[in-house]
Structure 1
Amino acid sequence: MANVQKRPNGKWRARYRDSNGKEHARHFDRKVEAQRWLDEVTTSIVTGQYVDPQSARKPFKEYAEEWRRSQPHRPSTARAVEQHLRCHAYPAWESRTLGGIKPGDVQSWVTSLTSTHKLAASTTRTVFNTVNAVFSAAVRDRMIPLNPCTGVKLPSVPRKQIVPLTVAQVRSLATQIAAPYKGLVYLAASTGLRPGEVFGLQRRHLNLARATLTVDQQVQQTKHGVFVGPPKTDRSYRVVPLPRMATDAVKAHLKSFPAPTQQDWLFTAPEGGPVAYNEFMKRVWRPACRKAGIPDGVGPHALRHHYASLLIKHGESVKTVSERLGHTNAAMTLNIYTHLWPDSEERTRAAVDCAYADRPDEPAQEVA
């Protein structure tokens, strides 16, 4: 029920009942204003865009915590999201309501993350994405009509050009690293697997007869321990062809460090079980890099970049490289490795010259 009535004091009252039977009312000086407001509310109800005015008064922190606890995040993501909100969002908006945070407030907050709190541009964007997800959920839940994060300008992230390891560096690293992980270096360098995907390999993932490797899990380490979970994205589930170098390295590894059952880990920690990233970096990777003369700061992910650079150098398409790496899409691959693709200036010149080579231009005829 919705109507407009004139009150004894001369004001016009517009009222309606929402889908839950709750009555809402506002008072206006003119009847036309009351009717216009009522028409707008009625339209929003009919189109499914109605938002209860009371919903927007919910505290931002209260809603954000409800949202956070309901998300199916993997442990590492859940930890990052909790930190983003606790360290950067709640100090700014803990006492604010969902509807009380405007686009200008979000813009000022984003700017302060880099100017005041000195966060890197990439970190600022990551924190913003978490807050944007909260407000997007609030819009879907009909808590607020619009997302105040829409249109906010973010700091630009300087693009870092990947400098892949050379073949000589990979060989040197494989020579210097502890014996149980020599095969890991060659396998990662020849398949492009993420470190967690390499650590998550079990005997069942190898098909040496067909020279293929299946990726369907990864090992991650958080403050709560080491756990086995699904790959990073849906596209990360993949079957990767094994070059001869990889199959030879795996066979040599299995000869020295057998994995008798299909459930045995291909590479194990010294105390048994899957390799834990932090301990691997401290005890194995960094000492090997120093011996091999590889600069500090280079991590196991460099072997993935090395693999990508080899595919690009030998003419593989963006699509193929993206599929082998398990990227979400080809655009991501280009964004990371575009500088590694050969320059096409000469090929574009040759393409045009070739098209016109057999039909040279004839001089124009003058009109008398």
Structure 2
Amino acid sequence: MANIQKRPNGKWRARYRDLEGKEHARHFDRKIDAQRWIDEVTASLVTGQYVDPRSAKKPFKEYAEEWRAIQPHRPSTAKAVAQHLRCYVYPAWEKRSLGAIKPGDVQSWVTSLTTTHGLAASTSRTVFNTVNAVFRAAVRDRMIPHNPCAEAKLPSVPRKKIVPLAVDQVRKLSEEIPARYKGLVLLGAATGLRPGELFGLQARHLDLLHATVSVEQQIQQTAKHGVYVCPPKTARSHRTVPLPRVAVDAMKAHLRGFPADGPEGWIFTAPQGGPVVYTHFMDASWRPACAKAGIAKGTGPHSLRHHYASLLIKHGESVKTVSERLGHTNAAMTLNIYTHLWPDSEERTRAAVDKAYADQSADAQPQVDEAA
């Protein structure tokens, strides 16, 4: 129920009751403004878009902590989100309410991430995504009517061209790395699995008879949770990848030298047993092997994935196929990373246009009357 009354002081008081029966009122100089406000509130109540004005007064930090506590984040993501909020968000907005943070405040804060905190553009975008998720949830929970992050302009990220490892480099690396990880290098280069997916492989995931490997889990590592098994990165990361002959041979040789302990046994293990620990693997095996193989410093295991993608592209596989093999969320992501590796089509496009105009020219030629 809503009504408008003129007060003794000449103001117009507009009142309404919300869905819980609580009364809200505002005063206006003009009746038309009071009526407009009542109409807007009534429309929001009818359409289910109503937001209690008191909800917006909740402190940003309080709501963000409540949001963070109920998110189904994996440990590594939870750690990153907590760090984003603690280091870059709460110092700016800890004492602000949800409704007091306006689009201009968000834009100023986004700019400060690079100018004041010195974050790279990609890192600034990641931190922004955390804040954006908080505000989206606040809109969904009817705490605020609009997301102040909606039209924020983010720093552009320079596109980094990937230079894949050559086949000779992969072979050299597989020879220099300790024997227990030779198969890991060759399998990664022949399937494009992420490092965590390679570490998470168990014997039950490998089907040498049908030459396939199934990605169903991965191994991750964080300071707080240690080494743990978790689902693949995204829903599309669950996939079955065909094994080329080089991978089948490499896996047969690996399992002869380092047999898995039953179907649940890890295919690749740490020297002391158990799953591979990323930090130990990098320090004791990967980096020394790269140095011996003459591979640039800073090259990580993810380079095997790029090598695999480059081979598929070189031999004419479509964007869709490459995306599916890599377990990317969509083909656009694949193009964004590897578009520079697709063969140049300049000559094909020139030929296509020239052929079209040549055909039209032929059709336009006047017919000669032979009897004339």
Short-chain TM bin: over 0.9
More moved, 223-232 vs 345-354: 345-354
**Cα gap change, 1:358/1:23 in structure 2, threshold over 3 Å: closer, same or farther?**
closer
For residue 55 of structure 2, what is the amino acid of its counterpart?
Answer: S
Partners in 2 of 1:225 and 1:321 — Cα distance?
32
Deviation at 1:360, TM superposition (A): 4.3
Q: Give 1:129's aligned residue.
A: 129
Letter in 1 for 2:328: H
Determine whether 1:190 maps to 2:178: no
* CA positional deviation for 1:116: 1.1
The DSSP-based 3-state class of the residue aligned with 1:227 is strand
Q: Which amino acid aligns with 2:167?
A: V
Once the two structures are superposed, residues 263-291 of structure 1 have per-residue CA deviations (whole angstroms, 9 ceiling, x without a partner) of 00000012211111111111110011011
Map of 2:307 onto structure 1: 306
Q: How far off its partner does 1:295 sit? A: 0.7
> Is residue 117 of structure 1 aligned with residue 100 of structure 2?
no
Report the CA distance between 1:146 and its aligned residue.
0.6
Residue type of the alignment partner of 2:66: E
Question: What is the DSSP-based 3-state SS (H/G/I as helix, E as strand, rest coil) of the residue aligned with 2:214?
Answer: strand
Q: Which runs of 5+ in 2 are unaligned?
A: 368-372
Cross-structure match for 1:22: 22
Cα distance in 1, alignment partners of residues 6 and 311 from structure 2: 79
TM-superposed deviation, 1:357? 5.2
Superposition TM-score, scaled by structure 1 size: 0.97
Helix, strand or coil for the counterpart of 2:157? Answer: coil
2:321 partner amino acid:
T
Provide the rounded CA distance (Å) in 2 between the counterparts of 1:106 and 1:32: 33
TM-score scaled by length of structure 2 = 0.96
Aligned to 1:210: 210
Residue of structure 1 in register with 2:181 after alignment = 181
CA distance in 2, matches of 1:85, 1:364: 75
Residue identity opposite 1:261 in structure 2: G
2-structure distance, mates of 1:34, 1:352: 64
SS of the residue corresponding to residue 214 of structure 1 reads strand
Aligned positions of 1:141-160 closer than 5 A: 141-160=141-160
**1:36-185 counterparts in 2 under 5 A?**
36-185=36-185
| Superposition pairs of residues 347-362 of structure 1, within 5 angstroms | 347-355=348-356, 360-361=361-362, 362=364
- Equivalent-residue separation in structure 2 for 1:14 and 1:260 (angstroms): 75
Give the structure 2 partner of residue 333 of structure 1: 334
What is the CA-CA distance between 1:6 and the residue it aligns to?
2.2
Identity of aligned residues (%): 77
Residue 55 of structure 1 aligns to which amino acid in structure 2? S
Pairing 1:251–2:257 present: no
How far apart are 1:9 and its partner, in Å? Answer: 2.9
Q: Which amino acid aligns with 1:282?
A: D
Alignment match, 2:10: 10
State the shift of 1:12 in Å.
1.9
Matched residue of 1:25: which SS? strand
- What is the alpha-carbon distance in structure 1 between the residues aligned to residue 261 and residue 122 of structure 2? 44
**How many residues are paired up?**
365
Distance 1:230 1:347 in 2: 43
3-state SS of 2:41 partner = helix
- Cross-structure match for 2:370: none
- The residue that corresponds to 1:280 in the other structure is 281
Please report the RMSD computed on the Cα atoms of aligned residues, expressed in angstroms: 1.4
Unpaired runs of 5+ residues, structure 1, are none
Match of 1:193, as an amino acid?
Answer: L
Structure 1 CA distance for aligned equivalents of residues 112 and 243 of structure 2? 48
For residue 322 of structure 2, what is the aligned residue in structure 1?
Answer: 321
* Corresponding residue of 1:234: 235
Deviation readout 1:227-248 (Å, 9 max, x if unpaired): 0000000000000000000000
